[in-house]
Amino acid sequence: MECRYSCPINNFYNNKTFAEIAHLIENQGVIRSLVLNPQFVGILNITPDSFSDGGLSFHKEDAVRNFVRLINEGATIIELGSQSTRPSALIINEDEEYARLDNVLEEPKEVIKEKEVIVSIDSFTPEVIKRVFKKYPISCINLVKNNLDDYTLRLIADYNCKIITMHSLTVPPQKQKCLDFDKSPLTSLNIWTEQ
């Protein structure tokens, strides 16, 4: 059976396969995915001051329960962040950041393995990334700062881990610092990636 795009509003893409549409869309350096089996990402902020949940997963018991709940509700990817990046957040030391991750990842190890859950770590601290790799099967690193040394980048590659890059002018963000509105944001991102 062949899947074809269909929309009530008549347009150029109607009755074309997703593969045909993918080849018709101008790329412009952006990879588009028309995956027919979507994956859901569960975000777990292990911080007392999360801007999205107010700290609901800060305590170990709550974090582990929410981790397993996200999996049972259909998340195939769980992203864990233990360093708040909300505006005005304080940067914690690497031992505390690692301890928060370790507390949550230790207990559901079997569930992660059994359900083949992809685990992503939201961290910009090279030492934390190194320590997590030594103990847990991490698939992705969500990197908000462009600060990893060559050793850490090699370690990520050796573990066949993916890097998700996000851009922030400052961590934590400062609302006074913004991209130059007179320039394309891609110009700023290109400069950032070249650093």
pLDDT in tens, 51-80: 677 788 888 999 999 999 998 888 888 999
pLDDT at 25: 55
Question: What would the two tokens of residue 120 be?
Answer: 């992503």
Share of the chain above pLDDT 70, in %: 66
* Higher pLDDT pick, 30 / 180: 180
Find out whether 119 and 138 touch, Cβ atoms under 8 Å.
yes
Q: CA-to-CA distance for 73 and 89, rounded, in angstroms?
A: 30
Domain map (residue ranges) of the chain? 1-27, 39-174
In this predicted model, what pLDDT tens digit does every residue of 86-142 receive, in sequence order? Answer: 777 788 999 999 999 999 999 888 888 888 889 999 888 889 999 999 999 888 888
Q: CA-to-CA distance for 39 and 35, rounded, in angstroms?
A: 9
Query: Residues 6 or more apart from 62 whose CB is under 8 A from it?
Result: 56
Share of the chain above pLDDT 90, in %: 21
Find out whether 105 and 119 touch, Cβ atoms under 8 Å.
yes
Find out whether 83 and 43 touch, Cβ atoms under 8 Å.
no
Q: Residue 184 pLDDT > 60, yes or no?
A: yes
Q: Residue 1 pLDDT > 50, yes or no?
A: no
Q: CA-to-CA distance for 110 and 162, rounded, in angstroms?
A: 22
Chain centroid to Cα 52, Å, comes to: 15
Task: Return the CATH number of 39-174, one of 1.10.10.10, 3.20.20.20, 3.40.50.80, 3.30.930.10.
Answer: 3.20.20.20
